[in-house]
Amino acid sequence: MNLDKLPVTVEDLTPNTHNPEYIIALNVRMNEQAERLQTLFDEIAAGPSATIGYADIMHWRARLDYLRSVGQAKRAAALEKAEALKEAKKADEDEEFMEGYKTFLETEFNAS
């Protein structure tokens, strides 16, 4: 992806441009920003995750179904295990959940 550069000389501007000095100053600043963005885009494109796949943008539960449907059961199982662990860690920090869980353990396994 190459970003277009704006004209920075009076000769390159369209005829009858109002306030050409101001337009040229703005174009210089815009071109500088375009160069910074181009550098960023090039670094992203050359990085390890240069392409974002279809499954990468899905919610993890939808990605799980998708991976299973395309025959990647091992990858789906690893994803499910990792996400279940994340949810369990979140639940450990949730006081309301932990109170309910303790109540469940006390009432469910008590022989009354």
Give the pTM. Answer: 0.42
Contact 38, 5 (CB under 8 A): no
Contact 32, 38 (CB under 8 A): no
For residue 112, name the pLDDT band (cuts at 50, 70, 90).
Answer: low
For residue 28, name the pLDDT band (cuts at 50, 70, 90).
Answer: very high
Contact 10, 25 (CB under 8 A): no
The pLDDT assigned to 48 comes to 66
Return the biggest CA–CA distance within the chain: 94
Contact 36, 61 (CB under 8 A): no
First-last CA distance in the chain: 71
Segments making up each domain of the chain, as ranges:
10-46, 55-108
